[in-house]
Structure 1
Amino acid sequence: MEAGVASSRSIGQTLRSAWAHAARLVLDIALPTLCVACREPVAGVGVCAECWAKLSFIAQPYCPRLGIPFVYDPGPGLLSMEAIADPPAYQRARAAVRYDDVARTLVHALKYHDRTDLAPAMGRWMARAGEELLGEADVLVPVPLHWRRGWSRRYNQSGALACVIERQSGVPVARDVLRRIRPTQQQVGLSRSQRASNVQGAFKVSPEKAHEIQGRRVVLVDDVLTSGATTDACARALLRARAAQVDVLVFARVVDTHKAPI
């Protein structure tokens, strides 16, 4: 009797699995997954092989402080002009890719078009790029959204990326430690000085959560590093709350190819 019941359950599970597979197959045929960049059909999610090849992954040589790629190897320890002229509050920054057309499309899809399915791949690339930082880190802190923007967007893209990096690296995410205490306008289109003014005083460490970063090495996680105004404002807030050190890990960063190391 028991053998018959077990056999029936096994058959039922097999049929359900077959139906689920068939349903996925029909859905893939009816609604094929499209490359987020070129809109061509692609197996799986994200980008097709051609667009993936167009992503400009950042590798050494790069500025040891800012992670800006060099066009030639200047030798160990030499910094970029930006790092010398205007050193940030954070210690080091690393990015997976340059902020080019394909990277911009990926970021905008994740950020504005609910493409949370892109976060796993983007987060894995970030974890690889930030291996040095993550190996020394105690905690991850995503750059927060203001609650109004978070409510309208329904999720924080930096938080989604931080969760993937947590799974890849084992470094825990400190959630709700850093808060955006006032709304800021979109940084797109603002000058460097306007960006800095826009985020000045916009971030604060929650007093009841401060113990989670005090004396600890923090990796701040965001999607894009442009002028560095947002990450610098966040780093200052974390350091005021007595974080031991703040590094920055982003998916993409803007690179000025006309500047050289000195």
Structure 2
Amino acid sequence: MVAVARFARHFGPVVDALYPPRCPSCGMAIASQAGLCGECWSSLEVPTHADSDTAAIPVFAATYYNETSRKLVLAYKHGGRIALARLLAQLIAARLPESHVGHRLPVLVPVPLHRWRLWQRGFNQAALLTHELARLGRGEPLVEALVRHKRTPNLGGLGREARERALTGAIRLNSARSEHLAGRDVILIDDVLTSGATSRACIAAIAGAGPASISVACFAQVDQDHRLTHP
């Protein structure tokens, strides 16, 4: 870590000269490679309390899904800006509670991708967030806890009931990892929480391992007052 810090200190100005820092949301010039411009920072809508889905599972969202957070998600997930994972994870980490069972860090479980979707995209956006949250000391990553063994259609244009049908039987617990979840606080990690169908499918699978608690953490949450087309 010291070597990385020294590298960033010495070569940061060179990188900035070759690639002038710009806000990943609006493209405006900014002071450093990490972060947003002041206008985009102020436009992010931060929930004032933890929400819950229909199953009363706590949801810790960094922001509501609005135009600014939508642009960040699009740049991150579909624009290949994977370096944004650190910024998004930092915003998520700020929303997570400090208390854990037995003073142990929670287990961080990303929403899984089907192998074909992973091959097409090249990365699992939830898994990258999970690793960044672990680096921030917010939990222990367990990226193979869940398996998406059934290929599902793109859920973006589907309604709530259609999403539920598409996800039926699609996600299951990895039996080789289930013992690591027993008796532990588990946080399911995703980039965007829309209808909650994917989260509920993951929660149902995790519950089979007997965790102490389950919660959801995401970068952006869609609610009735912040509805946009999911990317």
TM-score (norm 2): 0.84
Distance 2:64 2:144 in 1: 29
Distance 1:190 1:29 in 2: 44
Does the alignment pair 1:225 with 2:193? yes
Q: Are 1:217 and 1:245, in contact at CA under 8 Å, matched by a contact in 2?
A: yes
In the superposition, relative to structure 1, how do residues 26 and 173 fare at CA in structure 2: closer, same or farther (>3 Å)? closer
Does the alignment pair 1:191 with 2:159? yes
Does the alignment pair 1:104 with 2:80? no
Match among 46, 49, 58 for residue 57 of structure 1: 46
Count of residue pairs brought into register by the alignment: 214
Q: CA shift at 1:45, angstroms?
A: 2.8
Q: CA shift at 1:26, angstroms?
A: 5.2
- After superposition, where does 1:197-236 map in structure 2 within 5 Å? 197-236=165-204
TM-score (norm 1): 0.75
* Per-residue CA distance 1:211-251 (angstroms, 9 max, x = gap): 11123221100011110000000000111233332111111
Distance 2:142 2:115 in 1: 17
Distance 1:26 1:165 in 2: 28
Q: Are 2:89 and 2:132, in contact at CA under 8 Å, matched by a contact in 1?
A: yes
Q: Are 1:120 and 1:161, in contact at CA under 8 Å, matched by a contact in 2?
A: yes
Q: Are 2:93 and 2:138, in contact at CA under 8 Å, matched by a contact in 1?
A: no
The secondary structure found in structure 1 opposite 2:187 is: strand
Q: CA shift at 1:117, angstroms?
A: 1.3
Q: Are 2:146 and 2:171, in contact at CA under 8 Å, matched by a contact in 1?
A: yes
The match for 1:29 is 17
The match for 1:13 is none
Aligned-pair RMSD on alpha carbons? 2.1
The secondary structure found in structure 2 opposite 1:169 is: coil
The secondary structure found in structure 1 opposite 2:87 is: helix
* Per-residue CA distance 1:199-220 (angstroms, 9 max, x = gap): 1111111111111112322110
Matching residue's letter, 2:65: Y
- After superposition, where does 1:80-95 map in structure 2 within 5 Å? 87-88=54-55, 91-95=57-61
- Structure 2, unaligned stretches of length 5 or more? 1-6, 227-231
Does the alignment pair 1:165 with 2:129? no
Q: Are 1:214 and 1:243, in contact at CA under 8 Å, matched by a contact in 2?
A: yes
Matching residue's letter, 1:189: G
Q: Which piece of structure 1 moves more, 34-43 or 141-150? A: 34-43
Q: Are 1:139 and 1:219, in contact at CA under 8 Å, matched by a contact in 2?
A: yes
The secondary structure found in structure 2 opposite 1:246 is: strand
Does the alignment pair 1:120 with 2:109? no
The match for 1:69 is none
Q: CA shift at 1:98, angstroms?
A: 0.5
Matching residue's letter, 1:59: T
Q: CA shift at 1:168, angstroms?
A: 2.0
* Per-residue CA distance 1:92-128 (angstroms, 9 max, x = gap): 1110100000101111111111211111111111111
The match for 2:112 is 144
- Structure 1, unaligned stretches of length 5 or more? 1-16, 67-82
Q: CA shift at 1:27, angstroms?
A: 4.8
Distance 1:25 1:257 in 2: 42
Distance 1:138 1:39 in 2: 36
Q: Are 2:183 and 2:212, in contact at CA under 8 Å, matched by a contact in 1?
A: yes
